[in-house]
Amino acid sequence: MNKNKTTAQNKKIAVLPGDGIGPEIVREAIKVLNVVEKVFGHKFDIETYPVGGCAYDLCGESLPKETLSACRSADAVLLGAVGGPKWDGLPGEKRPERALLGLRSELWLFANLRPAKIWPSLLDSSPLKKEIISDGIDILVVRELTGGIYFGAHSRSLDKKIARDEMAYSEFEVERIAKVAFECARSRNKKVTSVDKANVLESSRLWREVVERVSKEYPEVELNHMYVDNAAMQLVRNPGLFDVLLTENMFGDILSDEASQITGSIGMLPSASLRHDGFGMYEPIHGSAPDISGKNIANPLATILSVAMMLRSTFLLSDEANAIEEAVSNVLLAGLRTADLTSPDAAPIGTSQMGDAVAKAILKMVK
Ligand code: NAD
């Protein structure tokens, strides 16, 4: 590991732990970030702000103005998760999950990158048969994040018996996310699978036309189109088919959860939500897991790996990102597992013990 290559950086990180397991997993990610800071000589200015249900309890809003403005003035944002049964009865616009949509649209985070890869030492944790995953799984879901049905108009008829959710995409929105997917594919296995439902949806027909047009700028990248129902099936039948999976907002939300399960656990998958200039919000793909919160059993690795994505994508600190990923790999190779990953022959360790183990593994690499 080269700890002297990059010049020391001073970065401001807005941290939004959120609800449920959010604070527990974020605590471990900060532990790891503090070790990286010391080892590589950077200065990370970390400030914590409320978001989600806890923010609603505090000030009646799931995305307080102070939180949003702190995110705007930070160099990057680290988010835990929001939501929980306590706030399920709130009206739509007050719900904790609405804060996520607010952060994405207010910070212009249109590109959601969700890498789903199987760690060699976790092959046994995948629910798929060995012969299906023998060549490994290494998929990057590139999901459009600020358009589509989640951001369209939502309405109910006067008698409340008919509901509508509008799914709209503009050429501009499709073009900019398609470019991100092709750029990513260039530095990977040069294959983009664009997911749509063009046999039924007009927005998908536009999606397909624009993706075709963008692909002409990337002749070295192979493009194929797949209906979303087929993509859902192929992910469990033959995941090795995929390199970059380009999707609109809702299809990507669903397919990336499926992709996470085939890699072993939803507790392993990080994500980056990016703006055109590289600014990003980083978070695990899972939710606030209220069923296990406060028990010190949640897997913090997705959040720790989200920090690695932050260091690489927004701060351009690839040695530091590699150090975290290598430390995670070493910890897994040593047989350490949180409860979501355990096999019958391994006793699980807790959330904080997993964070300690990754932090120690980084320190061990530089000794
Ligand atoms: P979830 O992802 O929170 O949990 C699904 C299952 O995975 C649960 O059994 C949970 O225990 C398990 N799980 C999740 N993360 C884990 C981890 N790190 N380690 C071990 N196990 C883990 O999804 P859900 O139960 O559908 O949603 C719970 C709440 O989270 C809801 O309020 C939902 O709206 C919210 N949510 C938030 C986000 C976000 O903040 N980005 C994303 C999805 C869901």
pLDDT at 246: 98
194 has which bridge partners?
225, 246
pLDDT tens-digit series, residues 250-279 = 999 999 889 888 888 889 999 999 999 999
Give first-to-last CA distance, the chain, whole Å. 10
pLDDT tens-digit series, residues 301-318 = 999 999 999 999 999 999
Q: 129 in helix, strand or coil?
A: coil
How far does the centroid of ligand 1 lie from the alpha carbon of residue 302, in Å? 12
Residue 111 clears pLDDT 70, i.e. is over it: yes
pLDDT at 177: 98
For residues 178, 266, 269, 252, the Cα torsion angle rounded to the nearest 10 degrees is: 10
Span 117-121, average pLDDT:
89
Confidence of residue 123 (pLDDT cuts 50, 70, 90): confident
339-367 burial, b if ≥16 CB within 10 A, otherwise e? bbbeeeeeebbbbeebbbbbbebbeeeee
Ligand 1, atom 43, residue with closest C-alpha: 287
How far does the centroid of ligand 1 lie from the alpha carbon of residue 262, in Å? 16
How far does the centroid of ligand 1 lie from the alpha carbon of residue 20, in Å? 9
The mean-pLDDT minimum among 134-143, 156-165, 171-180, 352-361 falls in 134-143
Cβ contact 108:273 at 8 Å: no
Confidence of residue 124 (pLDDT cuts 50, 70, 90): confident
Ligand 1, atom 38, residue with closest C-alpha: 287
Cβ contact 109:173 at 8 Å: no
Dmax (CA) for the chain in angstroms is 69
CA 146 → CA 3, 250, 312, distances in Å?
Answer: 37, 10, 23
Q: What angle do CA 125, 128, 129 make, to 5 degrees?
A: 105
Question: Any idea which fold 127-262 has?
Answer: Isopropylmalate Dehydrogenase (3.40.718)
Cβ contact 266:288 at 8 Å: no
Q: 284 in helix, strand or coil?
A: strand
pLDDT at 191: 98
pLDDT tens-digit series, residues 321-356 = 999 999 999 999 999 999 998 766 678 999 999 999
How far does the centroid of ligand 1 lie from the alpha carbon of residue 84, in Å? 9
Ligand 1, atom 40, residue with closest C-alpha: 81
The number of residues making up the chain comes to 367
Query: What is the rounded average pLDDT for all residues in the chain?
Result: 94
267 burial class (0-12, 13-18, 19+ CB within 10 angstroms)? Answer: buried
pLDDT at 345: 67
Identify the CA nearest to 118 among candidates 273, 285, 239: 239
Pocket test for ligand 1, best of 286, 296, 328, 340 (most atoms within 8 A of CB): 286
Q: How far apart are CA 322 and CA 2, in angstroms?
A: 10
Ligand 1, atom 11, residue with closest C-alpha: 289
Q: 165 in helix, strand or coil?
A: strand
CA 159 → CA 90, 101, 165, 244, distances in Å?
Answer: 21, 28, 17, 44
8-110+279-367 and 127-262 have identical folds = yes
How far does the centroid of ligand 1 lie from the alpha carbon of residue 85, in Å? 12
Q: Where in the chain are the domains?
A: 8-110+279-367, 127-262
pLDDT at 343: 67
* Cβ-based neighbours of 138, under 8 Å, separated by 6 or more: 115, 116, 117, 118, 188, 189, 243
Q: Point out the residues that are catalytic.
A: 150, 197, 229, 253, 257
In 154-201, which ranges are continuous DSSP H helix? 171-186
Model-wide pTM > 0.85: yes
- Report which ligand 1 atom has the smallest distance to the Cα of 52: 40
Which residue ranges have their beta carbon within 6 Å of ligand 1? 21, 25, 81-84, 97, 100, 266-267, 283, 286-292, 298-299, 302, 340
CATH class of domain segment(s) 8-110+279-367: alpha beta
pLDDT at 126: 86
Q: How far apart are CA 107 and CA 101, in angstroms?
A: 10
Q: 153 in helix, strand or coil?
A: coil
Q: 186 in helix, strand or coil?
A: helix
Ligand 1, atom 4, residue with closest C-alpha: 289
| β-sheet with 280-284: strand ranges across | 43-48, 10-18, 76-81, 280-284, 270-274, 111-117, 138-144, 244-247, 191-196, 222-227
Ligand 1, atom 25, residue with closest C-alpha: 289
CA torsion through residues 236, 242, 244, 249, sign: negative
- Report which ligand 1 atom has the smallest distance to the Cα of 283: 41
How far does the centroid of ligand 1 lie from the alpha carbon of residue 288, in Å? 5
Cβ contact 236:258 at 8 Å: yes
Pocket test for ligand 1, best of 103, 266, 295, 340 (most atoms within 8 A of CB): 266
